[in-house]
Structure 1
Amino acid sequence: MPRRDAAKLAQRLGEHAEAVCRHYLSNGRRSGNYWQVGDVRNASGRSMFVRLRHSPKGPPGKWTDAATGEHGDLLDIIRESMGLIDFKDVADEARAFLAMPPPEPRPSRGKPAPVPTGSPEASRRLFAMSQPIPGTLVEAYLRGRGITILHGTASLRFHPRCYYRPEDHGPTETWPAMIGAVTDLAGRQTGAHRTYLDPLGLAPSGNGKAPIDTPRRAMGDLLGHAVRFGVAGSVMAAGEGIETTLSLRCALPDMAMAAALSAAHLGAILFPPTLRRLYVIRDNDPAGDGARDTLAERAREAGIEAIVLSPELEDFNDDLRHFGLEAIRAAIADQLMRKDRLRYLKRAA
């Protein structure tokens, strides 16, 4: 979009500044001629001020965050509050809000290429737009699944309004989401995983996820990489899902772990050069059995000892919710090497 068109769109939004704020900054409130909120990502608080009317200081819609020094216009609010990556999406959202017709297409004149949808760079931008999980819906979601050991989970963040495009090409929606940073062995982010959450609490299915067809989605370069918790040394554990991996981590909080996000990706996960023993966190289904066998064989070919940790039910999150943490500790005690049982379970007791 040409800069002048963006300015016109921001000006049009400014004519409805309070309505924009009520919609995209719903955690804030009006105070005189300003809308006050915690930040541009719609956190609760009062450090950010959005001008609602013309004044000697400038036009409506301009905002400043006194805590961070950030500033911008209403297009920035739409972008940040919704977690949009491409400006085209921001402009489309603004026009939808204003009920404006789409613009006539214009030829590009040396404009930088947009970040491809689903690319590693798009995943990095999405993670950067998100916030740490303490005090957010992500923390509540994980605790609702029995996961209470949350230290060392900086690879997870919360986005309050993450874009969701239905697979049937229906209207684009926004949902709160847990964002997991997928990283390579060097710690560089290559992708992101989104778990869309029910903003009202438990979804009809009772698991806290948003009531949509595909509440889990991934983007970026995933093969061989993982969402990581802790830094792997000579020992680590690897599983499929984030919740499954974190459930076992509640019993072994000092063991480095990695969630590969699917059975196929678990079988292909790359090994840190320092790794000498790998615990394979098995899901109790045919896909889990295949991933177990593939990963164990690859590890042994690399000279790494592979030991399988098996749940009683479908996965370790089911075990955690149905049997409790002490039962998981007792169940895996016999599955761990003695030296690791003394090293890790002793600290967790």
Structure 2
Amino acid sequence: MRKFNLKYFTGSAVVLIILLLTACEYKLPESIWNEDENGAETPVILQVEPAAEAFAGASKIKITGTNFSDSPSDNVVYFDNIMGSIIFSSSSEIIVKPPFDEELLKDSLTITISVKRSYLPARYFPYKLKTTNILFGNFDGFAEQIFSIAVDKDENVYTMIKGRKVYKLDSEGNRDESWGTTTFPKASCMKFGPGGFLYLQKSNNQSIYRIPEQGGETEKWVTLSAKVRFFDFDQNDNLYTGGTLSGLFVVFPDGSFKKLDLYEEYDIKAVRVYSGYVYILADYKGADSGVPKTGIWKNQILDNKGNLSQMQLVKDWSLTGDFSSSNPFDLTFSENGDMYIGTDYIDPVLIVRQKGTMEPLYP
């Protein structure tokens, strides 16, 4: 019988245990915590402009404070839990555009600023984000194509619709689809004027029509000696109108008219009366190289007989920066005299301030 060597077994067991203990040894990684690192100073929000509310996806919000980073990538601005787009940053100022998200269109949200290497954020509460536009009237974009819009003294809205109809909408968007009808398919312009009538310009035509205040069918009011497209009324109830190479006409409240010796070589795209002047948006079609190809001109209203001063250039369209490559289509004025110009640019509305500065409506 083979003898069992206890001494040999004991030695082997000891070696095996040592190997097992060595193999199971767990080495911790080197600690990344630096007990001497205090982090960056905590950011502080001192002021937000505008202070209470802004437009989601459109407004530029200026945040003034301390301990921000000069590098935009080191700052993060949240509106609740959704990140905004930082346009500019310094140690004391951040300009940010809030995101557009339906979840944020509410009366109370929190602006939070986190800065790289800072352990704590800065917060501003409450804040409100609004939408830049709302759906009004619920029109079918194909079956109810809109050609022109007007507003009466009570702020009811009137729309000329495909199908020779004029709808009336109250302030809530409720529609009276039987308010008016036209004898022609399209109106290029319509406005309320003398006698409470709704005046309509048959598109690229010599005739101007009108509908009584209570509604009904169009009646022909005046027929001019040239085709026109756009018009507006002055404080004397005189109507100024023009079209492509038509020159400018003035139509008096009794329906009589005269042609003015103005804008003979222009394609008139909009007519607007403001503060004693007739403003004309037009393309110049003449041969004078000194005249802007596209621009806005104005003429002072001299009396109640429709006499106007000579043309004064207000804005050369080639000098509108990024907008100069776009086509302007219409213009209007705010109560404080700022001019709003509708275009086909990616930011479609250009504001020209009274002092001459320019900016998009929603940059």
Instruction: Provide TM-score, normalisation by structure 1.
Output: 0.24
User: Higher RCO, 1 or 2 (CA under 8 Å, sep at least 6)?
Assistant: 1
Bigger Rg, which one = 2
Normalized per residue, the structure richer in strand is 2
User: Per residue, is there more helix in 1 or in 2?
Assistant: 1
